[in-house]
Structure 1
Amino acid sequence: MRTFLYWLALVVTAYVVQTSFLPLIFYRGIGPDLLLLITISFAFLKGRRLGCFMGFLLGLFKDLASGGFLGMNTFANMMMGYCCGIFSNRVLRDSFILPIAAAWMSTISVFCLFEIIFLLLGYGFFPLAHIKYKLLPMLCYNIVFAWPVHVMVHKVDKRVSEKK
């Protein structure tokens, strides 16, 4: 139960920061996706199954809290949790470049996935404008916040492991 409470505190804190304080530094309404970064870091620490499960929970939480299309964030976070979790046994978990590279690749993947879904739903697609005004700011923010989020996830994981 204590493990669940530690992770819940991290997720709720990240979501509160993402929705209340970080909009002060958003660029044209675009900011970092802290829950995606938590999913990525958790997947690298725990593997693909738990990474996929955490992606499901955080994506569902984001979908229910945001009021957008139900299931898009759930699917995207699940995919990123699974894909990053595949490499959990093959990478050095304390590497500085790992969360930054994973945030870069995951942000691009989630952006492409969302754009494909929106295109299939009949929304307008303007590749250069979307890349310039959505993808590039999102990449910059996620790269900047990737390392601090990874450190926090690593600390929570270490604290939870010590308690057992």
Structure 2
Amino acid sequence: MQSLIIFIIIIVNFILQSTILQNLSILGVIPNTTLIIVVSIALLKGKRTGSIVGLGAGLLQDIIFSPTIGANAFVYFFIGYLIGLSEQKVYKESLFIPFIFTLITTLAYHGVYYVLMYFLGVNIRFHFFLRDTILIETLYNSILILPIYKWFSNIFTVPSIKFGRR
């Protein structure tokens, strides 16, 4: 059942990111909701699910939007895997953790994506890209993850009551 929910989230995110979110830009920058979803699911579900979600969402994004197939899938896969490694080691109820992880992974995503595009022969003027896009998107993603992560934690966290001896 959770696999179906994750699949629907990826598809709805893809539709929203390519339509409605284009109109919600701040200084010409739209949030990278795919990255937010990968970070959230990796934190909540672990490295296996996080990497699979990153790979699937990245491939979908590559097929439709990217000049090369596989660059986004590669980056999102490793972000999902690396964030998922910390699933058991972090306090999931804190909103500070996803905020910091999103801040770091947005910068890492753009850095790795730039290097991949450079080696694939796609010319991106990094200085202007950093100044005009990356810094604004980093703040935008880091703020936007707070309600999304809270919503996902309500969906994917099963409440448990522990009965035991004192």
Moved more, 38-47 or 63-72: 63-72
- Partners of 2:114 and 2:126 within 8 A in 1: no
Equivalent residue of 1:51, what SS?
helix
Q: Supply the AA of the counterpart residue of 2:54.
A: G
SS of the aligned residue for 2:111 comes to helix
* Aligned-partner Cα distance in 2 for 1:124–1:68: 11
Pick the structure with more helix per residue.
1
| Structure 1 equivalent of residue 40 of structure 2 | 41
Distance 1:125 1:69, change over 3 A: closer
Query: Amino acid of the residue matched to residue 89 of structure 1?
Result: Q
**Structure-2 change in CA distance of 1:121 and 1:5 (3 Å):** closer
C-alpha distance 60-126 of structure 1, shift in aligned 2 (>3 A): closer
- Corresponding residue for residue 113 of structure 2: 114
- Distance verdict in 2 for CA 1:128–1:67, change over 3 Å: closer
Partner of 2:155: 156
Structure 1 counterpart SS, 2:55? helix
Task: Give the structure with higher Rg (CA).
Answer: 2
Residue 70 of structure 2 is matched in structure 1 by: 71
Using structure 1 for the length normalisation, give the TM-score.
0.86
**What is the count of residue pairs matched by the alignment?**
159
- Alignment CA distance shift 1:49-1:4 (3 Å): closer
CA separation of 1:69 and 1:91: change in aligned 2, threshold 3 A? same
Residue of structure 2 in register with 1:13 after alignment: 12
Shift of 1:67: 4.5
Greater alpha carbon shift after TM alignment, 115-124 vs 51-60:
115-124
Name stretches of at least 5 consecutive residues in structure 1 with no aligned partner.
none
Kindly provide the CA deviation profile for residues 70-110 of structure 1, in whole angstroms up to 9, marking residues without a partner as x. 10110011010011011111100011111111111110111
- C-alpha displacement at 1:12, in angstroms? 2.2
1:21 and 1:144 map into 2 onto residues whose CA distance is 18
Aligned residue number for residue 54 of structure 2: 55
Structure 1 residues 69 and 29, CA gap change in structure 2 (3 angstroms) = farther
Mean alpha-carbon deviation: is it higher for 80-89 or for 63-72? 63-72
**CA 1:6–1:121: 2 relative to 1, 3 Å:** closer
Q: Match for residue 99 of structure 1? A: 98
TM-score (norm: length of structure 2): 0.85
> RMSD value over aligned CA atoms?
1.9
Distance 2:131 2:2 in 1: 40
Equivalent residue, structure 2, for 1:140: 139
Q: Which residue of 2 aligns with 1:3?
A: 2
User: Any stretches of 5+ residues in structure 2 without a counterpart?
Assistant: 160-166
